[in-house]
Amino acid sequence: DQQVKQNSPSLSVQEGRISILNCDYTNSMFDYFLWYKKYPAEGPTFLISISSIKDKNEDGRFTVFLNKSAKHLSLHIVPSQPGDSAVYFCAAKGGSNYKLTFGKGTLLTVNP
């Protein structure tokens, strides 16, 4: 049973436009969510996180939105740059449980 789902395996966007990556979760105990960026043959790099007490967190070009009632979060990248091309993983954890549950990832391609 997949508790964190990224239903789009890939997304292609033009440079300068907005990239929107989506993530759904099923476990209502999750209260902290993270986005990681990963290049092939490298470890994931932390991008941005959000606690369930918030509905938005922004850091530069990256904004994460959380809709708790829909159990949905999204990562917005504006403006998108070719260097943003990578696989993006959504992850979640709940309470004092340190364990991260990852989605399967979305491959973002930003075309020049």
Partner 1 sequence: GAVVSQHPSWVICKSGTSVKIECRSLDFQATTMFWYRQFPKQSLMLMATSNEGSKATYEQGVEKDKFLINHASLTLSTLTVTSAHPEDSSFYICSVRPTDTQYFGPGTRLTVL
What is the binding site for partner 1 (CB under 8 A)? Answer: 32, 34, 36, 41-46, 49, 89, 93, 98-100, 102-105
Q: How many CB atoms lie within 10 A of CB 58?
A: 12
Q: How many CB atoms lie within 10 A of CB 12?
A: 11
Shortest approach of partner 1 to residue 99 CB, angstroms?
A: 6
In the complex with partner 1, which residue's Cβ is closer, 25 or 89? 89
Q: How many CB atoms lie within 10 A of CB 56?
A: 10
In the complex with partner 1, which residue's Cβ is closer, 79 or 101? 101
Shortest approach of partner 1 to residue 103 CB, angstroms?
A: 6
- The answer to whether 35 touches 45, Cβ cutoff 8 Å, is no
In the complex with partner 1, which residue's Cβ is closer, 86 or 103? 103
Residues 9 and 41: their CA atoms lie apart, in Å, by 18
Shortest approach of partner 1 to residue 108 CB, angstroms?
A: 15
